[in-house]
């Protein structure tokens, strides 16, 4: 079983939901990321989504755009991100790591080399925001034969026919985008999310993570009642930005938010 499968199976048994924090690799500097990943695990993360910085993050709001700019200014490239995962794996062989980003850096590295390196360093899943199932014929088998999950987004606008198609191409989990908008947008409507998650459940067997618009312990708890996983990104990344010059304060702030979410989610 893959790390992602094992994690969701364990959580299901414990009747808990996955807490999935997102941070941008290399933000604000390359040396920050691996220690921050370990902090995330200590604070209760079940899966880590590690953002691969890109010059043109079209689906992201201002918080993650700025994170990409800081990471790129620090010189973070895709090979560096893969090296971070290798380093992280030296102390953690159980927490799944999913790379989340845009297709072009992957195209530039080459699909085969990227898939090979992912498998080698211990990346468990890859979510490429601008790669819909229609365009994945070339890359999907390369991941599949190496046991790396290809994770896809489902949106509020996705038709039922497309949900089935996406579920067929996806493995690991599905990422439901809770609102029409970019990352870090206003607030989600839990009732709407619940209804959509129910629809997805009827069409797909995979666990469902929900992201975009989860800001605090309260919204994390509400979403955890209806989904299998809660993804939180901008709320953490804005703390990284606020404490960019003070790693201790950054660690404390990120821990506090995540631990608060964990507690709220686990409370019966």
As a whole number of angstroms, the distance between CA 229 and CA 88 comes to: 22
Catalytic, 135? Answer no
- The SS3 call for residue 234 is helix
Q: Is 137 exposed, middle or buried (0-12, 13-18, 19+ CB in 10 A)?
A: exposed
Instruction: Report if residue 25 touches another protein, rule: CB under 8 A.
Output: no
Token digits of residue 122: 């211990």
Query: In angstroms, what is the minimal distance from the CB of 225 to another protein?
Result: 24
Residue 66 backbone phi and psi in degrees, to 5: -65, -35
Instruction: Report if residue 22 touches another protein, rule: CB under 8 A.
Output: no
Q: Which CB sits closer to another protein, 163 or 257?
A: 163
Q: Give the 3-state secondary structure of 240-267.
A: HHHCCCCHHHHHHHHHHHHHHHHHHHHC
Instruction: Report if residue 120 touches another protein, rule: CB under 8 A.
Output: no
Choose which of 79, 91, 141, 147 interacts with another protein (CB under 8 A): 79
Catalytic, 49? Answer yes
Query: In angstroms, what is the minimal distance from the CB of 62 to another protein?
Result: 7
Omega before residue 255 within 30° of 0, cis: no
Instruction: Report if residue 39 touches another protein, rule: CB under 8 A.
Output: no
Q: Report which DSSP code applies to 46.
A: S
Q: Which CB sits closer to another protein, 95 or 178?
A: 178
Query: In angstroms, what is the minimal distance from the CB of 236 to another protein?
Result: 20
Choose which of 69, 92, 216, 266 interacts with another protein (CB under 8 A): 69
Q: Which CB sits closer to another protein, 55 or 187?
A: 55
Q: Which one of 28-36, 83-91, 156-164, 254-262 is the stretch in contact with another protein (CB under 8 A)?
A: 156-164
Closest CA relative to residue 214, chosen from 184, 238, 239: 184
Instruction: Report if residue 131 touches another protein, rule: CB under 8 A.
Output: yes
Q: Which one of 77-85, 117-125, 202-210, 248-256 is the stretch in contact with another protein (CB under 8 A)?
A: 77-85
Instruction: Report if residue 181 touches another protein, rule: CB under 8 A.
Output: yes
CB 189 within 8 A of CB 223: no
CA 256 → CA 39, 40, 184, 239, 249, distances in Å? 10, 10, 19, 10, 10
CB 163 within 8 A of CB 200: yes
Instruction: Report if residue 109 touches another protein, rule: CB under 8 A.
Output: yes
Choose which of 21, 57, 172, 229 interacts with another protein (CB under 8 A): 57
Instruction: Report if residue 154 touches another protein, rule: CB under 8 A.
Output: yes
Q: Where are the alpha helices (DSSP H) in 90-246?
A: 103-109, 111-121, 140-144, 160-169, 190-203, 217-224, 234-242
Instruction: Report if residue 129 touches another protein, rule: CB under 8 A.
Output: yes
Instruction: Report if residue 162 touches another protein, rule: CB under 8 A.
Output: yes
First to last CA, the chain: 29
Q: Which residues pair with 232 in a beta bridge?
A: 21
Q: List residues near another protein by CB under 8 A.
A: 54-62, 65, 69, 72, 77-79, 102-109, 129-132, 134-135, 152-159, 162, 166, 177, 180-182, 185
Residues marked as catalytic: 49, 60
């Amino acid at each position: 079983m893959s790390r992602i499968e094992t994690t969701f199976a364990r959580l299901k048994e414990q009747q808990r939901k996955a807490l999935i924090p997102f941070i941008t690799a290399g933000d604000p500097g390359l040396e920050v990321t691996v220690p921050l990943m370990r902090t995330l695990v200590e604070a209760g993360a079940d899966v880590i989504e590690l953002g691969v910085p890109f010059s043109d993050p079209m689906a992201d709001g201002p918080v993650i755009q700025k994170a990409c700019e800081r990471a790129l200014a620090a010189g973070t490239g895709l090979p560096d991100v893969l090296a971070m995962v290798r380093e992280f794996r030296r102390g953690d062989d159980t927490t799944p790591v999913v790379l989340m980003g845009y297709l072009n850096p992957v195209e530039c590295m080459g699909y085969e080399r990227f898939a090979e390196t992912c498998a080698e360093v211990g990346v468990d899943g890859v979510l490429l925001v601008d790669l819909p199932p229609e365009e994945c014929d070339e890359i999907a088998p390369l991941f599949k034969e190496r046991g790396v999950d290809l994770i896809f987004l489902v949106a509020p606008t996705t038709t039922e026919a497309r949900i089935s198609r996406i579920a067929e191409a996806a493995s690991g989990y599905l990422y439901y985008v809770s609102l029409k908008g970019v990352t870090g947008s206003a607030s989600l409507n839990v009732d709407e999310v619940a209804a959509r998650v129910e629809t997805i459940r009827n069409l797909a067997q995979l666990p469902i993570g929900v992201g975009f618009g989860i800001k605090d312990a309260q919204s994390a708890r509400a979403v955890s009642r209806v989904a299998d996983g809660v993804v939180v990104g901008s709320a953490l990344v804005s703390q990284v930005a606020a404490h960019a010059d003070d790693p201790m304060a950054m660690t404390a702030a990120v821990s506090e938010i995540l631990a608060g979410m964990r507690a709220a989610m686990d409370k019966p």
